[in-house]
Amino acid sequence: MTELDRRTFIQRAGVLSVLACLPPAVVAQIISRTPPHSPFDASSTAEEVTAGLDLAGKTYAITGANSGLGLETMRVLAMRGAHVIGIARTMDKAEQACASVKGQTTPAFLDLGDFESVVNCAGMIRAMNIPLDALVCNAGIMALPERELVYGMEKQFVVNHLGHFILINQLMETVMSAPQGRFVILSSRAHQRAPEDGIQFDDLAFEKQEYGSWTAYGHSKLANALCSLELARRLSGTSTTSNSVHPGVINTNLGRHMPWYMRWAGTLLGWAFMKNIEEGAATQTYVATNPALVGVNGYYFVDCNPDPGGTPQMQDEAMARRLWLVSEELTRDYLPAAPAIPA
C-alpha cells in the first residue's frame, strides 16, 4: 500500500468512526451531503447557536480576533469550553483581546499582507502539537478608498484572500488531524459587486480598469468563496470540510474606510437593517461547531443556512480551480514543500 493509499484509508476510517457515534438521522443527512435546515435565522446570536454545546477539549483558531465578529466568536467558543487561538495583527492586540475573554485562550499574531508573518504564525500554531478543530478565516479589510498595491496586486485581494490562502495551506495538516476539522472562510454578499466576469486573473492589480472600492472588495470576497469551494473539492473523501459564510450587514470597524455619510447612516439607522455583533458572529460560529454539520462540505451559508449565492460565479468550479492554481503560483515561496491534499 502506498503512502497516499494509507493516508486515504486512515482518513476514511476516521470518517466512519465519526459516523458511528452519530444518530441515524444525522448520518443520513451527512450521506446525502445536504446541510440540515437549522432553526436559526438572522436574529440568532452566537450564544444561541451554540447553546448546550460542550466544546471542552476542542481548539479553534480565529483571525481578526481582537475586535468585532472575531472577538465575539472567540468569546462564545471559550465560554463553551473550547481553547481558542486568538489571532490579531499585533501581539499586543491579540494579548489584550485574549485577556478580555473568560476561558482558555492563546494569543497569536500575523499581518495578512505580509506573507512571511503568516508563515511564522502558522509555525507557532503547529508547534503547539494539537489538532485544530476549525480555522475561522475572519479577518479582512473593506472598501479601501484608493487603490493600494501589495506584492504588485490590489491590497484587498492580497489581504482577504492570499494571506488566508497561505494560512490555510500552512495549517492544512493541523486541521486535518482533528476528528472532523473544519475550515470556515468569511465571504460576503458583497461578492455580487465583483466584476461580471469574475476573478480578474489578467488584472489582479486593477490597472486595466477603473478602480472601484466596492468592486475590488467584492472581487476579494468572491475569491474567498471560490477558495472555499475548491478546498472543499480537494477535501472530498476526508473527514475535513470547508464552507464559506456571509455574516450579514454589521456595523463594525471593518467599515472604517467607508465615506463618513455611510458610517453616519449606519450608526443612526443601522438598527433597521443591520445585525449587531452578537448576531453577526452567529453563522460562522454555527458552521464551525454544530454537530449536525459533520461532513457538510462546499456550501455557502447565510443566517445559519445554506444559500446559493447571488451570482453564477459563486458556483463556478472551473474558476475556483483556476484561482487555487494561480494562488499557488503567487504564493509558492510561502507554501509547504509538499501539499497535504492532492489536487
> 153: which strand partners?
150
Answer yes or no: is 137 within a domain. Answer: yes
What local confidence, expressed as pLDDT, does residue 24 receive?
44
| Residue 234 dihedral angles phi and psi, to the nearest 5° | -70, -25
**What's the pLDDT score for residue 259?**
57
Q: Which residues are catalytic?
A: 211
Closest CA to 314 of 204, 187, 203: 187
Residue 21 covered by a domain: no
> Does residue 11 fall inside a structural domain?
no
> Are the CB atoms for 300 and 246 separated by under 8 Å?
yes
Tell me the CA end-to-end span of the chain in Å, nearest whole number: 20
Secondary element (H or E) of residue 60: strand 59-63
Domain-located, residue 58? yes
Query: Which CA distances in Å does 206 have to 75, 149, 187, 320?
Result: 38, 9, 20, 20
The single-letter code of the amino acid at 213 is S
What is the rounded distance in angstroms from the CA atom of residue 231 to the CA atom of residue 2?
A: 23
Give the pLDDT of residue 308. 86
Distance CA 117, CA 162 (A): 13
What is the C-alpha to C-alpha distance for residues 14 and 95, in angstroms, rounded to an integer? Answer: 35
Q: Confirm if 91 and 109 have CB atoms less than 8 A apart.
A: yes
Between CA 302 and CA 44 the distance in angstroms is 12
C-beta atoms surrounding 272 within 10 Å = 6
For residues 135 and 84, is the Cβ–Cβ distance under 8 A?
no
Residue 24 belongs to some domain of the structure: no
* CA–CA dist 187, 224 (Å, integer): 5
**Per-residue pLDDT at 268:** 47
Contact 293, 49 (CB under 8 A): no
27 in a domain, yes or no?
no
How far apart are the C-alpha atoms of 92 and 17, rounded to whole Å? Answer: 41
What is the tally of structural domains in the chain? 1
Locate cell 479577518: which residue?
Answer: 139
Q: Does residue 8 form part of some domain?
A: no
Residue 112: which of 75, 150, 58, 86 has the closest Cα? 150
**Any domain includes 271:** yes
Q: Per-residue pLDDT for the chain (343 aa), expressed as one digit of tens each?
A: 444 455 545 555 555 565 556 554 444 344 445 788 999 999 999 999 999 999 999 999 999 999 999 999 999 999 999 999 999 999 999 999 999 999 999 999 999 999 999 999 999 999 999 999 999 999 999 999 999 999 999 999 999 999 999 999 999 999 999 999 999 999 999 999 999 999 999 999 999 999 999 999 999 999 999 999 999 999 999 999 999 999 998 875 554 444 544 444 444 454 445 899 999 999 999 999 999 999 999 999 999 999 988 789 999 999 999 999 999 999 999 999 988 787 7
The pLDDT value given to residue 326: 98
Question: If we measure between CA atoms, which residue out of 210, 199, 215 comes closest to residue 162?
Answer: 199
The sign of the CA dihedral 308, 310, 313, 314 is: negative
pTM: 0.86
Residue 123 vs residues 118, 127, 171, 327: alpha-carbon distances, Å: 9, 6, 8, 20
CATH of the domain at 84: 3.40.50.720
Range of the domain at 159: 33-333
Backbone region of residue 164 per phi and psi (left: phi > 0; alpha: psi in -120 to 50; beta: other values)? alpha
pLDDT score for 309? 80
DSSP SS3 for 47: helix
